[in-house]
Amino acid sequence: MDRPAVPAPAGPRAVRLVDGLLAVGTAVAVLANTARLGGRLEAAGALSLSLWLGLLLLGRCRWPLAVLLLSVQAVIVFRTSGLTDVGWVWPVSVAYATLAADDRPGRPGLPWAAGVGLAELAFAATWETAVGGATPREALVSLGAEALWLAVLLAAATAYRNRLRWRAELDERLLRVARERDLEAGRRIAEARLDIARELHDVVGHTLTVVGIQLRVAAEALHDSPEEARAALTTAQQVRGEAVRDLRALVHVLRAPGEVPEDPAAGVPEVAVLVDRMRSAELDIRLETAGDLTAVPAPVSLAVHRIVQEALTNTVRHAAASRADVTVRCGGGRVEVSVTDDGRAPAQTPGATGHGMRGMDERVRALGGDFSAGPHGKGDGWVVRAVIPVPGFRP
């Protein structure tokens, strides 16, 4: 499954390259703007300040607040000592922007950048009026442009930080959707495997049981009643053929999902044939039906057939019963099915269930019905009962 492309973080070499370019750019910008604004270009003044501010930017990603504080301190020292006479805020533009754009948890960069900037402007205004001899109006004019530049820097850094947040949230959302899609695909695969296992268990288990019954009948009647033995073998052969048909239909669905298999699945109308095949000299099976069996919807019809099939298979294998009663009633917006025998209850540890019992329960629950299986309550015997609702079904 394709996953959304997530931008990889920049490597250390790329980060160092960007820091170096910003350091060189800052140094050149300080010198160029000093010359353009008519400031003094002296080795001990503008040149030293530009080199100092550029070197500090090499550590901006790791210590953005410390770099800003040291840069602001350098500008204040150089300005108050008379080594340079141009700019308070703009020489430190990169340091301000870096701190304001810092979006790492527990590091509120924007408030710190705004606070440091206001403090620097307040100090600059005080210095210009108290020491530089400028009038309040002149100080306001000279520092107004720098205050506006600081506001533009902080706004741009905030926009950049919000864009990074948006991209991170979008990437996280895409990854979450991909994970949920993977989980959903895994759930569907698990359900498909469960359906396949249930169908294989029902088909193979029933087929082996019926074939075993018919072979036993054929063996017992081989000498005394050859015709009966031949009929039993014919029935076993038919059951084997139907099992092969069911397995082919299942394989067809697996190979071409969404297509309808060529052979129809078993349903409620075939319950009578199923009962006839399971009936033997040792087990008398009686069938009682009510309602229009042919009107039952296909999913419910298949579930009823599989429940009767599995319940009778368990009776033959484990119960040592002499009689079983099968009841199927259709009407009143639901289908009721029960299989009761007079044999012994299966010996199971508490909470343990076989694949067949669990498969019957899963079939009924998937259709919104109720399933129960347990001792008869009236002496020996076991009863399997299921009620499956069919909205709008009133045969």
Query: Which of 256, 241, 142, 243 has the alpha carbon at shortest distance from 200?
Result: 243
pTM for this one?
Answer: 0.42
- Tens-of-pLDDT digits for all 395 residues of the chain? 444 443 444 557 777 777 778 778 777 777 777 777 666 666 777 777 778 888 888 887 788 888 888 888 888 888 888 777 777 887 888 888 888 887 666 667 788 888 888 888 888 888 778 777 777 777 777 787 788 888 888 888 888 888 878 888 888 888 888 888 878 877 776 776 666 666 666 666 666 666 666 666 667 766 677 777 777 777 766 666 666 666 665 555 555 554 444 444 567 888 888 888 778 778 888 998 888 877 787 778 888 888 888 888 888 877 778 888 999 998 888 899 999 988 876 544 334 455 677 878 887 888 888 999 888 766 678 899 999 888 655 54
Residues 6+ apart with CB under 8 A from 79: 85, 88, 124, 127
* 390: amino acid identity, one letter: V
Nearest Cα neighbor of 342 from 322, 326, 358, 360 is 322
- Across the beta sheet with 334-341, what order do the strands follow? 284-290, 323-331, 334-341, 382-389, 370-375
What is the model's pLDDT at position 140? 77
